[in-house]
Amino acid sequence: MNKEQIIVKLTTIVKPYIQNEEGFKNMSEETDFINDLEINSANLVDIILDVEDEFKIEIDNDSMEKMLSVKATIEIIQTKMNA
């Protein structure tokens, strides 16, 4: 799965939790979940669990620690899917 395909799926996953519409409209690889989308940290775990379900991967604690941005999330998804 390429970056663009992953971003499309991620857009659907984060949508229920975003609080910044402008940031969401411009969502790209450079987007930060908290600073740009204003997602509450209490919802980060929901996103991580949704990513696990959607991509059928398991995200370990070390990977989870870095999942604050679209870029980091794409890297983790690609690594886990290719493992």
Shorter beta-carbon distance to other proteins: residue 46 or 75: 46
Shorter beta-carbon distance to other proteins: residue 4 or 56: 56
Shorter beta-carbon distance to other proteins: residue 2 or 56: 56
What's at 29, amino acid-wise? E
Buried b (16+ CB within 10 A) or exposed e, 33-71: beebbbbeeebbeebbebbeeebebebeeebeeebbbbe
| Nearest approach, Cβ of residue 2 and other proteins (Å) | 25
Residues engaged in binding other proteins (CB under 8 A): 16-17, 34-35, 40-46, 48-49, 52, 61, 64-68
| Nearest approach, Cβ of residue 31 and other proteins (Å) | 14
